[in-house]
Amino acid sequence: MRHTPGTFSIAAYDPATDTFGAAVTTGTVAVGATCPYVSANAAALTQAFTKTEHGRDAVERVDSGDRIDEAFEALLAADEYAPYRQVHGVDSETTFAFTGEECSEWAGHRIGDRYTVAGNILAGPGVLDAAADAYESTDRDMAERLVSALEAGERAGGDDRGELSAAILVHAPEPEFYHNLRVDRSETPVSDLRELLDAAREAKERVRAETDEMFDDYPEELLNFGVKY
């Protein structure tokens, strides 16, 4: 079993739909429990030797009025182990990425137009390039673009040890079943995440059809389940 910290991930903002998203895959279990964070104002990831407070607090600071770069810079400045951290994220106007000098090779990041990608213990920089290119070229909703980015990064070599878990987390004005998905332990977590995304899309339509069968008339609000973050 592989336990050394490592991951590749993407944080993104789509101004056309006012949607924030984060996606991540790694060579350890349950990456969705510790690395990705989103809100109505930001998306952030903390990885390498992960400190969950950095992701959580960065998003909270943006919600309180900071920019994402200000938030992360303050958190890193107060962290004596910052050289071992890798963090990145976006708000509606700003991007930020940091790769500590003690992160395991290959480690690095890339900043794009309203998105960031970063990773460590990777096959090489082509993993991030592939993930970024897939995100930019995919013309669908945020969940689809995030999963496509993970798929492309995996095809380019991915985590140098292979992946064991994957997750996407999306904050949109209209939440959906498929905005919070996790594969916590699998030999093929990214492909499993793709299957889970497809199944969650189908589940939304199935619930509506089943509710239509149960009631002649019902308040539309009954189907607004929301999403847990």
CATH number, domain containing residue 71: 3.60.20.10
- Check residue 6 and give its pLDDT: 59
* pLDDT for residue 115 is more than 80: yes
Q: Which residue has the tokens 């991007």?
A: 95
Identify the band that residue 199 occupies on the pLDDT scale cut at 50, 70 and 90. Answer: very high
1 inside domain: no
Is residue 222 over pLDDT 80? yes
Res 3 pLDDT > 50: no
The reported pTM is 0.94
Q: What's the pLDDT at 161?
A: 61
Q: pLDDT, tens digit, for every residue of 58-95? A: 999 999 999 999 999 999 999 999 999 999 999 999 99
Domain count along the chain: 1
**pLDDT (average), residues 162-181:** 94
- 29 within domain boundaries: yes
Cis peptide before 106 (omega within 30 of 0): yes
Domain that holds residue 163: 7-223
Tell whether 228 is covered by a domain.
no
Take residue 87 and report the two structure tokens written for it: 């963090």
